[in-house]
Amino acid sequence: MIYFAHCESPVGELMLAGDERHVSGLWMEGQKYFGATLPGGAVEGENLPVFCAARQWLQDYFAGKRPEPSDLPLAPAGGAFRQLVWKILLEIPYGQVAAYGWIAKEAAKRMGRASMSSQAVGGAVGHNPISILIPCHRVVGSDGSLTGYAGGLDKKRWLLKHEGVDLSRFYLPERGSAL
């Protein structure tokens, strides 16, 4: 059985999804791919222990603490390549960012390949079903652009600033997938 629950946050209402033991989704209201991995027939489970733990994690995060994603049982749905990219995202520390190109090189290395497409990585990052917890907001363009966030650039900027990232070294693209 898959359940969903809601959570208020400084970046708007969030929706959690999961079974009784794992978080499999976290979306911001209005984001691209909202609820994309949430199957039909999911039922409300506001008071499930896994959602209470996720809410506490989020409360700590938004209070400026640095809880580890590994503190929660995460189970994002996706193929092997996406799982690998999401694992790499989990390794980007608070207050730091990584470029799509770096993630592509790291994924290629772990897969034993000579190279990997940054666009393929962008697709995996963009379809991350567990926003904030799997920190796709920490991914930037290699040229310093704040691009590619399904939750919107305003929320990406807020999250990065909240984590202490100096945003003066980045710019907002005039066109692109993030707009």
Task: Tell me the catalytic residues.
Answer: 136
Burial class of residue 169, CB neighbours in 10 A (0-12, 13-18, 19+): exposed
Distance CA 156, CA 22 (A): 25
Say which DSSP state 31 is in: -
Distance CA 164, CA 50 (A): 28
Say which DSSP state 145 is in: B
